[in-house]
Amino acid sequence: MEHSFIDRYSSLQSPVHDLDARAKTIAAVSFCIVVVTTPPHQLLAFVIYAGFLVWIGALARIPLAYVLKRAALVLPFSAMVALGLPFFGGGPKTMILGLELSTRGLWVLAGAAMKSFLGAAMLILLMSTTHFSSLLAGLRGLHVPALFIDLLALTYRYLFVLIDETMRLKRAAVARGYRPRWLPQAVIIGRLIGSLFVRSYERAERVYGAMVLRGYTGLIPAAAPLRFHTTDGLVIAAFVPLIIAVRILAR
Amino acid sequence: MSKGDLAIEVAGLQYAYHDGTKALRNFSLGVRAGESVCIAGPNGAGKSTLLLCLAGLLTGTGRIHVGARGFSDSRADAPNPAVFGLVFQDPDDQLFCPTVGEDVAFGPRNQHRSEEEVQKLVGESLAAVGLAGYQSRSGHHLSEGEKKRIAIAAVLACQPEIIALDEPWASLDGRAAHAVTGILEKFTGTKLVVTQDLYHAVLVCDRLVMMDEGSVVADGPIVDLLADSALLEEHGIGFGTGAPPTKGSQ
């Protein structure tokens, strides 16, 4: 079975794809930091940030709808964290749809939504313009702890295996007449999850065995080093000050 | 190691799982360097457990001598990929890197070879399994047959003296199975093939060791043992209907 959920467009050719993974990672992380530290009421800054993303996406030929749809997946999570603030936050109140809401709480909620959405969109662009193995090599080049990189690599590789395994279990249940309509039938989902956990545990043991048999002693050895070109340096030198300038000036 | 020396020697090996199930009972076996041995037997005969013990991943009681590793009394030495390479039944257990190239390079890099040598081995191993140029492909985008061949390439890249394969033809269509058979025919080192698929095994192996309930029940030339239908029937293995193929009949 084929999956292309994470880095579907990473094999395209574009000026963004050609950049070194370290340059793109530095730019993406800088962008996220700047976005997160921007006060929510600086709406113009958020519009400009969004403009940057649209421009990068167009340059890399990544469909806008693809980025928007995936970035929107983070919104329920940010909403979960900040949804109560308009109701329970202090400060001045405003009436919306007959509800008395905290103005400060509303700004925090809007800020959380905008920041998480823009951050996620940037990371999706990073993933869509960088092959995962190059991204890992880039992180290694940036001295991110090797154990963390190994965990990322294994997660990426086995995420697809787990999805397949989950689908097989689900199909096996459906093929034997399982139609989840009533709450008590949810017990089956618990059993499926339990079965998936046991299978994953057993697979982890086999994977570890396979690694040990090929000389694994604790860390996956590094791949061939990446090459950092002048263009990569120029991109960082231009992009990072630019977004900082937006953060400071666009009020 | 010269041809004729024992590449694998097992004496009185016993292994029991945590629940008390005895997988290997007083198992003994000698395999000469360069020999191609098929290990067959019904489900639960202890075939895969034997491979894991030989690889050093499970520790039983008894004595095991594998390639350059000396005799060990029940405790396995650290696995040495240059001596014993094991291809797992499910390639997803073995291919854990984001790309094929990195997966095949994993063993040689752990052997501290130079990057130039690693890349040469990766190219040669992929060519040997008919998948040259697959370096940048993702493991999860491959067919089952391709994954199996990459798993073999990943072991071949470590240049092992002995290669062991657990059910190499399982879940493969005819074309993929044929490709795996071709790869095994070309490997000149010692081969240990655990399989239920005697149809393909007879094309690759000269000797058949039949196991049942953790012990050897028959050992001899594969062609002779396959002619003994009563023996095959008794231990729950066989070709089904039709005559077994012979070497060169592919």
Instruction: Dump pLDDT digits (tens) for B60-116.
Output: 899 888 885 544 544 455 678 888 999 998 888 888 888 899 889 988 988 889 989
In a domain, B157, yes or no: no
Q: Tell me if chain A has a CB within 8 Å of the CB of B90.
A: yes
Tokens coding A229: 């070109």
Q: Is residue A247 pLDDT above 90, yes or no?
A: yes
In a shared domain, residues A131 and A236: yes
DSSP state letters, B117-168: HHHHHHHHHHHHTT-TT-TTSBGGGS-HHHHHHHHHHHHHTT--SEEEEEST
Handedness of CA B16, B17, B22, B27 (dihedral sign): negative
CB atoms within 10 A of CB B87: 27
pLDDT at B197 (0 to 100)? 87
pLDDT band for position B46 (cuts 50, 70, 90): very high
Nearest-neighbour CA in chain B from A46: distance (Å):
35
Residue B61's beta-bridge partner residues? Answer: B14
How many Å apart are CA A38 and CA B102, to the nearest integer? 40
Confirm if B129 and A243 have CB atoms less than 8 A apart.
no
How many Å apart are CA B244 and CA B238, to the nearest integer? 9
In a domain, A97, yes or no: yes
Which A positions 117-136 lie with beta carbon below 8 A of chain B? 131-133, 136
Nearest-neighbour CA in chain A from B122: distance (Å):
12
Beta carbons of A214 and B84 less than 8 Å apart: no
Which B positions 42-61 lie with beta carbon below 8 A of chain A? 52, 55-57
Q: Kindly report, residue by residue over A176-218, the tens digit of the pLDDT.
A: 767 767 776 677 778 778 888 888 888 888 888 888 888 888 7
Q: Is residue B209 pLDDT above 80, yes or no?
A: yes
Q: Tell me if chain A has a CB within 8 Å of the CB of B171.
A: no
In a domain, B168, yes or no: no
Please determine, for the modelled complex, whether the ipTM score is greater than 0.85: no
The least confident of A97-101, A232-236, B119-123, B192-196 is: A97-101
Query: What total number of domains does chain B contain?
Result: 1
DSSP state letters, A188-246: HHHHHHHHHHHHHHHHHHHHHHHHHHTT-SSSPPP-SPP---HHHHHHHHHHHHHHHHH
* Domain containing residue B38: CATH number: 3.40.50.300
In a shared domain, residues A49 and A108: yes
Beta carbons of A216 and B97 less than 8 Å apart: no
In a shared domain, residues A242 and A205: no
Of A133, A207, A222, the CB nearest to B98: A133
CB atoms within 10 A of CB A53: 21
Q: What mean pLDDT, rounded, does chain A reach?
A: 86
Beta carbons of A154 and B107 less than 8 Å apart: no
Give chain A positions within 8 Å (CB) of B140.
Answer: 2-3, 157, 160-161
In a domain, B193, yes or no: no
| Nearest alpha-carbon partner for A114 in A167, A74, A173, A143 | A74
Q: Is residue A90 pLDDT above 60, yes or no?
A: yes
Q: Is residue B4 pLDDT above 80, yes or no?
A: no
In a domain, A6, yes or no: no
Of A136, A206, A214, the CB nearest to B98: A136
How many Å apart are CA B93 and CA B82, to the nearest integer? 20
Query: What total number of domains does chain A contain?
Result: 2
Of B57, B85, B139, the CB nearest to A157: B139
How many Å apart are CA A56 and CA A48, to the nearest integer? 12
In a domain, A218, yes or no: no
CB atoms within 10 A of CB A123: 18
In a domain, B28, yes or no: yes
How many Å apart are CA B3 and CA B8, to the nearest integer? 12
Of B55, B90, B115, the CB nearest to A224: B115
pLDDT at B12 (0 to 100)? 92
In a shared domain, residues A65 and A93: yes
**What is the domain range of residue B53?**
1-80+201-250
Nearest-neighbour CA in chain A from B111: distance (Å):
7
In a domain, B133, yes or no: no
Beta carbons of B88 and A210 less than 8 Å apart: yes
Task: Return the percentage of chain B with pLDDT > 70, whole number.
Answer: 89
In a domain, B23, yes or no: yes
In a domain, A235, yes or no: yes
In a shared domain, residues A129 and A84: yes
In a shared domain, residues A27 and A105: yes
| Nearest alpha-carbon partner for A125 in A55, A40, A229 | A55
In a shared domain, residues A24 and A79: yes
In a shared domain, residues A189 and A101: no
pLDDT band for position B241 (cuts 50, 70, 90): very low
Q: Is residue A3 pLDDT above 70, yes or no?
A: no
In a domain, A202, yes or no: yes
In a shared domain, residues A175 and A235: no
In a shared domain, residues A90 and A171: no
How many Å apart are CA B156 and CA B229, to the nearest integer? 35
In a domain, B233, yes or no: yes
In a domain, A83, yes or no: yes
pLDDT at A29 (0 to 100)? 96
In a domain, B53, yes or no: yes
**Smallest CA–CA distance from B114 into chain A, residue:** A224
Residue B211: phi and psi, rounded to 5, are -115, 150
Q: Tell me if chain B has a CB within 8 Å of the CB of A227.
A: no
A177 to A167, A180, A183: CA distances (angstroms): 15, 10, 16
**What is the domain range of residue A200?**
146-213
CB atoms within 10 A of CB A71: 20
Which A positions 184-223 lie with beta carbon below 8 A of chain B? 203, 206-207, 209-217, 220-223
In a shared domain, residues A133 and A199: no
Q: Tell me if chain A has a CB within 8 Å of the CB of B115.
A: yes
Picking from A199, A212, A214, A227 by the largest number of B CB atoms within 10 A of its own CB, the best residue to mutate is A214
Beta carbons of B106 and A158 less than 8 Å apart: no
In a shared domain, residues A35 and A130: yes
Give chain A positions within 8 Å (CB) of B106.
Answer: 211, 214-216, 220-221
In the chain, the amino acid numbered A52 is F
Q: What mean pLDDT, rounded, does chain B reach?
A: 86
Which B positions 221-250 lie with beta carbon below 8 A of chain A? none
pLDDT at B154 (0 to 100)? 92
